[in-house]
Amino acid sequence: MTIVARVRDAMDTNVVMVDASAKVIDVLNAMLEKKVWSVVVEKEGLPVGVITERDILRRCIAKKLLTDVCTAEEIMSSP
Protein backbone atom coordinates (compact mmCIF):
# COMPACT_ATOMS: atom_id res chain seq x y z
CA MET A 1 0.00 0.00 0.00
CA THR A 2 1.37 3.40 -1.01
CA ILE A 3 0.40 6.59 0.77
CA VAL A 4 0.73 9.78 -1.21
CA ALA A 5 0.74 13.12 0.58
CA ARG A 6 1.02 16.55 -0.92
CA VAL A 7 2.58 19.57 0.74
CA ARG A 8 -0.68 21.49 0.43
CA ASP A 9 -2.40 18.78 2.47
CA ALA A 10 -0.08 19.37 5.43
CA MET A 11 0.68 23.09 5.24
CA ASP A 12 -1.04 25.69 7.36
CA THR A 13 -2.58 28.58 5.45
CA ASN A 14 -3.09 30.70 8.57
CA VAL A 15 0.28 32.45 8.59
CA VAL A 16 0.61 35.18 11.19
CA MET A 17 2.63 38.19 10.03
CA VAL A 18 4.11 40.93 12.23
CA ASP A 19 5.94 44.09 11.28
CA ALA A 20 9.70 44.21 11.88
CA SER A 21 9.23 47.27 14.11
CA ALA A 22 6.69 45.53 16.38
CA LYS A 23 7.64 45.26 20.03
CA VAL A 24 8.32 41.72 21.26
CA ILE A 25 5.45 41.93 23.76
CA ASP A 26 3.08 42.61 20.85
CA VAL A 27 4.55 39.70 18.90
CA LEU A 28 4.04 37.42 21.90
CA ASN A 29 0.47 38.63 22.35
CA ALA A 30 -0.25 37.96 18.66
CA MET A 31 1.15 34.44 19.03
CA LEU A 32 -1.02 33.77 22.08
CA GLU A 33 -4.13 35.26 20.45
CA LYS A 34 -3.71 33.26 17.24
CA LYS A 35 -2.53 30.12 19.08
CA VAL A 36 0.66 29.74 17.04
CA TRP A 37 4.25 29.13 18.08
CA SER A 38 5.88 31.17 15.32
CA VAL A 39 5.27 34.26 13.18
CA VAL A 40 6.70 35.64 9.95
CA VAL A 41 8.34 39.06 10.24
CA GLU A 42 7.71 41.47 7.38
CA LYS A 43 9.31 44.76 6.41
CA GLU A 44 7.84 46.96 3.71
CA GLY A 45 5.44 44.14 2.81
CA LEU A 46 8.15 41.51 2.28
CA PRO A 47 8.98 38.58 4.56
CA VAL A 48 12.40 39.11 6.16
CA GLY A 49 12.50 36.62 9.03
CA VAL A 50 10.71 34.42 11.51
CA ILE A 51 10.26 34.46 15.27
CA THR A 52 9.47 31.42 17.39
CA GLU A 53 8.61 31.20 21.07
CA ARG A 54 12.14 29.88 21.58
CA ASP A 55 13.61 33.01 19.92
CA ILE A 56 11.71 35.17 22.40
CA LEU A 57 13.00 33.11 25.32
CA ARG A 58 16.64 32.93 24.20
CA ARG A 59 17.14 36.28 22.51
CA CYS A 60 15.02 38.49 24.73
CA ILE A 61 13.95 37.02 28.08
CA ALA A 62 17.21 35.16 28.86
CA LYS A 63 19.22 38.28 28.05
CA LYS A 64 16.94 40.33 30.32
CA LEU A 65 15.87 42.61 27.47
CA LEU A 66 12.58 44.40 27.95
CA THR A 67 9.81 42.94 25.79
CA ASP A 68 8.18 46.36 25.47
CA VAL A 69 11.42 47.90 24.14
CA CYS A 70 13.00 45.12 22.05
CA THR A 71 11.70 44.82 18.47
CA ALA A 72 10.88 41.84 16.27
CA GLU A 73 13.73 42.74 13.92
CA GLU A 74 16.23 42.51 16.78
CA ILE A 75 15.39 38.90 17.69
CA MET A 76 14.14 37.35 14.44
CA SER A 77 15.92 34.53 12.62
CA SER A 78 16.88 35.52 9.12
CA PRO A 79 17.09 34.83 6.20
Side chain identity at residue 50, one-letter code: V
Section 63-76 average pLDDT: 96
Helix (H, G, I), strand (E, B) or coil at 76: coil
Is pLDDT of 27 > 90? Answer: yes
The vertex-20 CA angle with 19 and 23, nearest 5°, equals 85
Looking at per-residue confidence, does 1 or 25 come out higher? 25
pLDDT tier at 37, thresholds 50, 70, 90 = very high
Is pLDDT of 3 > 80? Answer: no
Average pLDDT, rounded, for the chain: 92
Section 58-74 average pLDDT: 96
**pLDDT for the residue 4:** 77
**Whole-angstrom Cα distance, residue 22 to residue 48?**
13
